[in-house]
Structure 1
Amino acid sequence: MNPEPRINGDLVRFEGVEKTYDGVTIVVERLDLAIRRGEFLTMLGPSGSGKTTSLMMLAGFEMPTAGRIILDGKPIERLPPHQRNIGVVFQNYALFPNMTVAENVAFPLQMRKVEKADQKARVEAALDMVQMAKFAGRRPAQLSGGQQQRIALARALVFEPSLVLMDEPLGALDKQLREHMQIEIKHLHERLGITIVYVTHDQSEALTMSDRIAVFDKGRIQQLGKPADVYERPANPFVAQFIGDNNALHGTILDVSGPHCTVQIDGDRQTIKAAVGAPLAAGEKTTLSIRPERIRIGHTSDRANNIKASVRELIYLGDHVRVRVAALGSEEIIIKIPNGHGVPADVSPGANVLIGWNFDDCPALTREHAATAKA
């Protein structure tokens, strides 16, 4: 199976796509999204955010209420699924129990009336690709969950589609196997150069696998960007809270000076410095986002906020220690200390400590979250 040549340009475009089932509730609202040829794009969001409906419209299992879907330069929103030449992998694998592994993988080729000799060679190549060639004669019930997932992946790739859609494909696997399959799928994508659109609600999965992430909520894309950008520079409080652990503090902008601003914390007399993470002006309400791993215990530097805190709880979690402290009017400020760095001896429940974080690690965001991204 030859890798698809990496050609510049967009393979898929959603143009003003909307979906409603009852004419009242908008499930997907004015979706404008370009998916680049050869990229791994993840649609990430909670249940009901519109991500799966968007994928199903691309696959052809749902019809958009309005707008256009363009695949390789051609509108496809009215084409039935079998005419779109798109590979699809579902969470439940959808393998035929009465067929062998080889027969399952050959099924898309039979539907496309590929010659028998060519079918055999392509099935063997697809099974080799997912390291399942020796299981060709078995039936799905004789395979583990991870093996069935590999077969579903081989079946989606065997007819060499330019686009593969994956809807929560690893959700049924245990944690260790799921993490292993994440890396396998990512390596397969890199090797073949195909375009993958992946739907999940698992933030770590999206961060691990994606070239770009589209964060969905309320039927709209809240942020679209590279994993590091979405994590380090969230567009709004929803993105900050949904992706990874986050400490949120609410306050009012007192002044803005270049890339930084001064914030009066709600219910507390203290002011802190923050990075300007959204268009804000003096007098506006803001939500501050601080990642637990960015907070240090003890004085940090003159370019940092240094705050008095009281330790409430320590929880050992293997790779890190989770420290909960009370500060700035909140009882729920979380700090992560990596295992091996050591928790200071004076940090124990009831102790008074100094905590701090750099100004640039604390973006000030708008309170509301609406659509912020178009691509």
Structure 2
Amino acid sequence: MTATNNDVLVSFRGVQKTYDGASLIVKNLNLDIRRGEFLTLLGPSGSGKTTSLMMLAGFETPTAGEITLDGKRLNNVPPHKRDIGMVFQNYALFPHMTVAENVAFPLTVRGMNKVDVADKVRHALSMVQLDAFGGRYPTQISGGQQQRVALARALVFEPQLVLMDEPLGALDKQLREHMQMEIKHIHQRLGVTVVYVTHDQGEALTMSDRVAVFHNGEIQQIADPRSLYEHPCNTFVAQFIGENNRLPGRLVHRDGELCTVELARGEKVRALAVNVGQPGQPVTLSIRPERVRLNGATQQMENRFSGRIAEFIYLGDHVRIRLDVCGESNFFIKQPISQLEPGLAVGDVIPLGFPIEHVRALDASPGVAATASKPAAELVAA
């Protein structure tokens, strides 16, 4: 559904950024951020996500294009006049100020009277469950508590937009997961618009209303977490979001939304034709490990092959099974422990299969040339 003008809080139009005048870090960004949503900019290092956030914050200037906030052009507005809260990975707390003074800082620089400041600080610290910590200094509280202080400081002046740049990157796994839910719940309570940057795809899927996947300075796909995971539009997104099995092959023919792909050793696979070229051209098949079935569960499947078990990887609630399948030695199946057949052993050759609706034919992986058993000309004729 297309957002109306009233729904859009932030808009990027034709935004580019270069530091050397030659290579573009952000190529041609067109993006609408909806009022009240939690949008995550996700991608590997150097993909343009943090640069895009910093241009929105005012710490970087676009080389070309326009950024607007609530309909007002931001390009030449200094950071402190943008009415934007900011949370950094390193917290950026003032060590000589108490927790309460740190949270109060955005209010005091705006000239608010002391009574109102004290009331808002109390409310903000209560929101992040630090009511009793106002008199402490940053060095006297834990890393997770410091991050909560930074969050309270970003929210205390009630900005319409909060930007978060890898805010949980310095925390250990358990605390990081706890803070993910804290931030998500605070967002849900306040309804503030959040733009969040991370390279952690699990974090993005957990917290976001929508995720924009960046690669090489461009958005590859923007969608809700489930759509990104279940319906990636290209090989990069399929590989970057969650675990993914890739099988290189060549397109034999296309029949509407379905297609037939031939693998390197001649096996044929029926798949959804999501992002494919002409018959004879290379494609990559994408299959999620949890969508693969074994033994008796494969009997009615059109895509049915055999695989040799190479390794079991025990992960507590589930097990990952690595197999040699169709010439690929790193084909994984993910099964809940409760569903694992006890008699399976390394070296067993077993039937496996995957439904057509869970196999996606996508663009060929960069640098991977699929070699089918027939030449391209013969495949075109087929």
Tell me if TM exceeds 0.5: yes
- In structure 1, the partner of 2:353 is 356
Show CA shifts across 1:160-219 (max 9, x none): 000000000001111111111111111111110100000000000000000000000100
Q: Return the match for 1:219 from 204, 217, 220.
A: 217
Shift of 1:255: 1.3
Shift of 1:303: 4.1
Show CA shifts across 1:29-58 (max 9, x none): 000000000000000000000000000000
Query: Is the 8 Å Cα contact of residues 236 and 368 (structure 1) preserved in structure 2?
Result: no
Q: Return the match for 1:289 from 266, 286, 291.
A: 286
Query: Is the 8 Å Cα contact of residues 99 and 139 (structure 1) preserved in structure 2?
Result: yes
Show CA shifts across 1:45-89 (max 9, x none): 000000000000000000110000000000001111001010000
* TM-score under structure 2 length normalisation: 0.92
- In structure 1, the partner of 2:244 is 246
Give the Cα separation in 2 of the matches to 1:215 and 1:280: 23
Give the Cα separation in 2 of the matches to 1:211 and 1:335: 28
Shift of 1:344: 4.1
Shift of 1:302: 2.8
> Could you say what secondary structure the match of 2:53 adopts?
helix
Structure 1 gap ranges (5+): 1-6, 370-375
- In structure 2, the partner of 1:118 is 116
- State, as a whole percentage, how many aligned pairs show the same letter: 58
Query: Is the 8 Å Cα contact of residues 10 and 34 (structure 1) preserved in structure 2?
Result: yes
Show CA shifts across 1:258-294 (max 9, x none): 32111001x2111111111125442222111111111
Shift of 1:8: 4.5
> Could you say what secondary structure the match of 2:65 adopts?
strand
Give the count of matched residue pairs: 361
Q: Does 1:366 align with 2:363?
A: yes
Q: Return the match for 2:333 from 320, 332, 335.
A: 335
> Could you say what secondary structure the match of 2:354 adopts?
strand
Give the Cα separation in 2 of the matches to 1:344 and 1:307: 21
Show CA shifts across 1:218-242 (max 9, x none): 0000111010111111111111111
Letter in 2 for 1:234: P
Give the Cα separation in 2 of the matches to 1:352 and 1:92: 51
- In structure 1, the partner of 2:128 is 130
Query: Is the 8 Å Cα contact of residues 276 and 283 (structure 2) preserved in structure 1?
Result: no
Give the Cα separation in 1 of the matches to 2:71 and 2:115: 32
RMSD in angstroms over aligned alpha carbons? Answer: 1.3
Quickly say closer, same or farther: Cα 1:59–1:221, change in 2 above 3 A. same
- In structure 1, the partner of 2:375 is none
Give the Cα separation in 1 of the matches to 2:38 and 2:59: 21
Shift of 1:310: 0.7
- In structure 2, the partner of 1:13 is 11
* TM-score under structure 1 length normalisation: 0.94
Query: Is the 8 Å Cα contact of residues 337 and 343 (structure 1) preserved in structure 2?
Result: no
Give the Cα separation in 1 of the matches to 2:157 and 2:302: 56
Structure 2 gap ranges (5+): 367-382
